[in-house]
Chains A and B, each alone.
Chain A
């Protein structure tokens, strides 16, 4: 089973990467974009031998305890 974990900065947290990308968009000939915020995308594969509840719990734990710093980030999980 595959899952995607999307990690984004909380709306209140400054995003130096997004700001830098946004500032340089004109160089790429793109105008009209008012904001860019960068996040992380993780494709995760978990064993089919696990039951659905265990799979969900495992990916939830991975996303919450490892992939995300709760001080600055939020996450969401998308199952395929």
Chain B
């Protein structure tokens, strides 16, 4: 089992993800420079947070043209596990591997704080270790995390159980005040139809051990390890 963490110019959570997989979970993990054209030998790939290529045009707009993204497209189509966190989620959307788009936060503020997520679906390789409805304490840090998709796409995501995480309050209610960025239906994370590609704005890499304030994020990485050991 080998995990890969892609580094784009401007990634800044690459080491956090590497540390979480390698030191906290004790799994083999390697960095993958964005110029790589092959992902042979990897079982799961993490697109980390940051500001790939500076995000000047739109978040993820240029990163999706990096050579590694063509390999990642085939990798995802083959059913291998891909998780995009924050900027990684934005890149997966620009690349068309996940539906929708991430707009600037309502209120235009960069929001960096701890919040609660509710686990909406445990039928994914990223959430099989949780209980349905389980609340997770995980931080966000983004200026463009306002999930948008047209009505049909949102309905399909909901109907097909593709919404994995929702922003909720401490009691687990998906209220407007618990929504940090204006995301439709309080959506914080989704999977593709084949359920092997997850994108989420909150940072499991920043909540993988108690010393950081919460180890709830580790459940996501542990679920991936479990899925791969049964594969």
Q: How large is the interface on A (under 10, 10 to 19, 20 to 34, 35 or more residues)?
A: 10 to 19
List the 8 closest A-B pairs by CB distance, nearest first. Answer: A71-B101, A72-B101, A16-B104, A20-B108, A16-B106, A16-B108, A69-B101, A69-B58
Asked if B103 lies at the interface with its beta carbon under 8 angstroms from chain A, I say yes
Q: Is A72 in contact with B57, judged by CB distance below 8 angstroms?
A: no
Q: Is B150 in contact with A66, judged by CB distance below 8 angstroms?
A: no
Q: Is B148 in contact with A69, judged by CB distance below 8 angstroms?
A: no
Known: A66-B57, A69-B94. A16 touches B103 (CB 8 A): yes
Q: Is A72 in contact with B103, judged by CB distance below 8 angstroms?
A: yes
Asked if B100 lies at the interface with its beta carbon under 8 angstroms from chain A, I say yes
Q: Is B58 in contact with A20, judged by CB distance below 8 angstroms?
A: no
Smallest distance from the beta carbon of B97 to chain A beta carbons, Å?
A: 13
- The CA-CA distance from A17 to B106 in the complex, in Å, is 8
Residues of B within 8 A of A17 (CB): 104, 108
Asked if A34 lies at the interface with its beta carbon under 8 angstroms from chain B, I say no
Q: Is A71 in contact with B61, judged by CB distance below 8 angstroms?
A: no
Q: Is B148 in contact with A14, judged by CB distance below 8 angstroms?
A: yes
Q: Is B182 in contact with A72, judged by CB distance below 8 angstroms?
A: no
* 19 CB < 8 A contacts A-B: A13-B103, A14-B146, A14-B182, A16-B146, A17-B104, A19-B106, A20-B107, A20-B108, A66-B57, A66-B61, A66-B62, A66-B65, A69-B61, A71-B93, A71-B100, A71-B101, A71-B149, A72-B101, A72-B103
Smallest distance from the beta carbon of A9 to chain B beta carbons, Å?
A: 8
Smallest distance from the beta carbon of A69 to chain B beta carbons, Å?
A: 6
Smallest distance from the beta carbon of A79 to chain B beta carbons, Å?
A: 22
Bitwise, B56-90 to A at CB < 8 A (1) or not (0) is 01100110010000000000000000000000000
Q: Which of B101-115 contact A (CB under 8 A)?
A: 101, 103-108
Q: Is B107 in contact with A67, judged by CB distance below 8 angstroms?
A: no
Residues of A within 8 A of B149 (CB): 71
Residues of B within 8 A of A19 (CB): 106
Q: Which of A43-78 contact B (CB under 8 A)?
A: 66-67, 69, 71-72
Q: Which of A1-52 contact B (CB under 8 A)?
A: 12-14, 16-17, 19-20
Closest to A65 in B: B65
- The CA-CA distance from A12 to B94 in the complex, in Å, is 19
Smallest distance from the beta carbon of B76 to chain A beta carbons, Å?
A: 18
Residues of A within 8 A of B150 (CB): 12, 71
Residues of A within 8 A of B61 (CB): 66, 69
Smallest distance from the beta carbon of A54 to chain B beta carbons, Å?
A: 21
